[in-house]
Amino acid sequence: MCLFGCDSLFEKGFIYVDNDGIIKKDFNKNATSYTESFINKIIMKKCKYYNEYNKKYFEYHKKIIFK
């Protein structure tokens, strides 16, 4: 679990993991400047938790959050 709150950012839809396991940002969400600077440091990086076994979870989450 991320100490800053990656899980929280993920659950609230500020970030998501694409089909290649790359962390992406939802540009439609407004965040504080501090949160935005943190998000900008982690986007475009590989999510170390993404794998063949849980990729369907990430796909489902993206579909539900970004209806």
Q: What is the 3-state secondary structure (H, E, C) of 6-32?
A: HHHHHHCCCEEECCCCEEEECCCCCCC
- Asked if residue 1 belongs to a domain, the reply is no
Cβ–Cβ < 8 Å for 14, 39: yes
d(CA 15, CA 25): 4
Average pLDDT over residues 6-27: 93
pLDDT tens track for 27-43: 999 999 999 999 999 99
**Whole-prediction pTM value?**
0.86
Give the count of domains, the chain.
Answer: 1
Residue 22: band (very low, low, confident or very high) from pLDDT cuts 50, 70, 90: very high
Cβ–Cβ < 8 Å for 55, 19: yes
Q: Which residue has the higher pLDDT, 4 or 47?
A: 47
- Asked if residue 10 belongs to a domain, the reply is yes
- Asked if residue 39 belongs to a domain, the reply is yes
pLDDT score at 43: 96
User: In percent, how much of the chain has pLDDT > 90?
Assistant: 73
